[in-house]
Amino acid sequence: MKTNKNTGDLEAFLAGELKEGELWEFNKRLEADLQLQKEVQLHREINQAISDEGKWALVNTLEKLHRHNKKSKRITLYSWKTQAVAASIVFFIMVGSLLTSNYFNTGMSNEALYNNYFDVENTLLTTRSEHSEEPDIIQEGLDNFADGNYELAIQVLEQKESNMMSKLYIGFSHMKLEDYDKAIVSFKEIIEDNNNLFTDQAEWNLGLCYLVIDDTKQAKEVFTSIAKGKTTYKKRAQEILLEIR
Amino acid sequence: MKNISSAEILEGIKNNDRSIIELIYNKYFSTISKFVQNNTGSESDAWDVFQEGIVIVYEQSKTPDFKINNTFITYFYTVCKYRWLKTLRDRGIRKYEFYDDNKELENIGFNSQNNQFDEVAEKERRMLLYKRNLDKISKECQKLLKLMAKGLNVNEITLQLNYKSSGFTYKKRRICKHMLIKKIKQDLNNNQINL
């Protein structure tokens, strides 16, 4: 109960309720007692925390959002269980068909080819030197990309998504994160725009994305089109076409 | 988020604007979560870092003339990154980090020479712990302690909460505060947090 009494004294001290003599005595104790000093600090901080209604309203909003998000994730997970069974069946059928083909017997795999040809670092230097006048947000996104913070680069660059260079680096970032479906979307949008300096790079990398996800038919189509054209990727496209099985 | 400036986001945080908070959560939580989880943290660590990051931003937003020089996410990511680095150091996973002359910290408005960021981050961590424990005590005690923290005297609290006497309010205040302090101290101990 002593602690309870101490809490009362402390509260009275903090609320300015101690009478002159009591206050003098308390201050004297406070001066000499390190533990009491810590207690006072703790009580002051707690009072400060309790009174900051703005902060707690903010934290409550965040907590609600987080709880709601976790709940919806769980629901999605349950429905995924049934989908997972179907997916496993498809997976075994695919493995079976791959084993009956010559896939594992000769040449480089699509993934190995992709790794041989995907070289965004060179592209980065070229692009940056040509566009040093771009607004800060794009530069910031490129810096994040160069630092290897690909998630962050996407977040920043998405704020300038209508800019095709931004879109190109969103695509590259997705490639780095091995999220090829999203990279494909970005590159297709650049190609469809058809009014920018980045369509060549977008086409080449679109082909690489198809290659790494083993959509060899689409990859060949893209590289064939590049090989017939006059861009700087022509030679590389001809080479890769010889290597794709 | 496309047309919302960093200043507007800061204002939204300061005023608990639900639409802005929702945008930040939906857009950036996964980014922070991936960063923490890619650096030996768990999903729950990621949530702590995100929440503490927002509270640090809230505190900074109240500083006069404070403004973000980069986009909001670059600023917020840096706040969360240093918050997580501090946790890793506290857990003994990273022995030390060079903070001196740290441009990244200075870019987000912290003096890197005197561990200012660590102090702010640690205080906000304690504040969240106090809040968590306040939520655990009875609604009646919460109400009483909130009125007290607002600066109301015992007579005013007695009237507002319709208590029979100021003596009863004193007693109730002591009991409520004692319960809260007990829970907080236990939590501080469990989490090895010092004042």
Q: How near does any CA of chain B get to the CA of A97, in Å? A: 35
| Percent of chain B whose predicted confidence (pLDDT) is above 70 | 94
Query: Hey, is the C-beta of B14 within 8 angstroms of any chain A C-beta?
Result: yes
Using CA atoms, how far apart are residues A174 and B86, in angstroms rounded to an integer? 29
Hey, are the CB atoms on A38 and B128 less than 8 Å from each other? no
Q: How near does any CA of chain B get to the CA of A53, in Å? A: 9
Per CB-CB distance under 8 Å, the chain B contacts of A53 are: 146
Q: How near does any CA of chain A get to the CA of B111, in Å? A: 22
Retrieve residue B44's tokens: 């729950």
Q: What is the mean pLDDT of chain A?
A: 80
What was the pLDDT predicted at A221?
94
Task: Tell me the pLDDT tens digit for each residue of A165-213.
Answer: 899 999 999 998 889 999 999 999 999 987 777 888 899 999 999 998 9
**Res. B57: pLDDT tops 90:** yes
Confidence label for A100 from pLDDT (cuts 50, 70 and 90)? very low
Task: Tell me the pLDDT tens digit for each residue of B111-141.
Answer: 877 778 889 999 999 999 999 999 999 999 9
Query: Hey, is the C-beta of A144 within 8 angstroms of any chain B C-beta?
Result: yes
- Nearest by CB to residue A156, choosing from B16, B30, B73, is B73
**Res. B146: pLDDT tops 90:** yes
b or e along B101-124 (b: 16 or more beta carbons within 10 Å of the residue's beta carbon)?
ebeebeebbbebeeeebbebbbbb
- Nearest by CB to residue B58, choosing from A15, A41, A58, is A58
Per CB-CB distance under 8 Å, the chain A contacts of B54 are: 58-59, 62
Tell me which chain A residue has its CA closest to the CA of residue B145.
A50
**Res. A121: pLDDT tops 60:** no
Hey, are the CB atoms on A50 and B22 less than 8 Å from each other? no
**Res. A39: pLDDT tops 50:** yes
What was the pLDDT predicted at A133?
46
Task: Tell me the pLDDT tens digit for each residue of B174-183.
Answer: 899 999 999 9
Using CA atoms, how far apart are residues B108 and B117, in angstroms rounded to an integer? 10
Torsion of CA A139, A144, A150, A151, to 10 degrees: -90
Comparing A95 with A62, the larger pLDDT belongs to A62
- Which CATH number fits the domain A110-243, given the four candidates 1.10.150.530, 3.50.50.60, 2.60.120.10, 1.25.40.10? 1.25.40.10
Give residues with Cβ within 8 angstroms of B116, minimum separation 6.
B110
Q: How near does any CA of chain A get to the CA of B76, in Å? A: 10
Hey, are the CB atoms on B173 and A11 less than 8 Å from each other? yes
Retrieve residue B63's tokens: 């500083």
Hey, are the CB atoms on B154 and A46 less than 8 Å from each other? no
Tell me which chain A residue has its CA closest to the CA of residue B3.
A159
**Res. A86: pLDDT tops 90:** no
- Nearest by CB to residue A156, choosing from B29, B71, B170, is B71
Classified as helix, coil or strand, B71 is coil
Using CA atoms, how far apart are residues B50 and B97, in angstroms rounded to an integer? 21
What was the pLDDT predicted at B49?
96
Tell me which chain A residue has its CA closest to the CA of residue B22.
A65
Q: Per residue, what are the HEC states of chain A?
A: CHHHHHHHHHHHHHCCCCCHHHHHHHHHHHHHCHHHHHHHHHHHHHHHHHHCHHHHHHHHHHHHHHHHHHHHHHHHHHHHHHHHHHHHHHHHHHHHHHHHCCCCCCCCCHHHHHHHHCCHHHHHHHHHHHCCCCCHHHHHHHHHHHCCCHHHHHHHHHHHCCCHHHHHHHHHHHHHCCCHHHHHHHHHHHHHHCCCCCHHHHHHHHHHHHHHCCCHHHHHHHHHHHHHCCCCCHHHHHHHHHHCC
What was the pLDDT predicted at A160?
86
Query: Hey, is the C-beta of A163 within 8 angstroms of any chain B C-beta?
Result: no
- Nearest by CB to residue A156, choosing from B55, B74, B148, is B74
- Chain A and chain B share a number of CB contacts under 8 A equal to 128
**Res. B56: pLDDT tops 90:** yes
- Nearest by CB to residue B22, choosing from A15, A46, A65, is A65
What was the pLDDT predicted at A132?
44
Give the Cβ contact number of residue B69 at 10 Å.
13
Query: Hey, is the C-beta of A95 within 8 angstroms of any chain B C-beta?
Result: no
Query: Hey, is the C-beta of A111 within 8 angstroms of any chain B C-beta?
Result: no
What was the pLDDT predicted at B9?
93
Comparing A98 with A22, the larger pLDDT belongs to A22
Q: Do residues A203 and A191 lie in contact, with contact meaning Cβ atoms separated by under 8 Å? A: yes
Give residues with Cβ within 8 angstroms of B182, minimum separation 6.
A3
Q: Do residues A15 and B148 lie in contact, with contact meaning Cβ atoms separated by under 8 Å? A: yes
| Percent of chain A whose predicted confidence (pLDDT) is above 90 | 36
The ipTM (two decimal places) reads 0.89
Q: How many residues are present in chain A?
A: 245
Using CA atoms, how far apart are residues A2 and A5, in angstroms rounded to an integer? 5
Query: Hey, is the C-beta of B166 within 8 angstroms of any chain A C-beta?
Result: no
What was the pLDDT predicted at A175?
93
Using CA atoms, how far apart are residues A193 and B82, in angstroms rounded to an integer? 40
**Res. A128: pLDDT tops 50:** no
**Res. A104: pLDDT tops 60:** no
**Res. A112: pLDDT tops 60:** yes
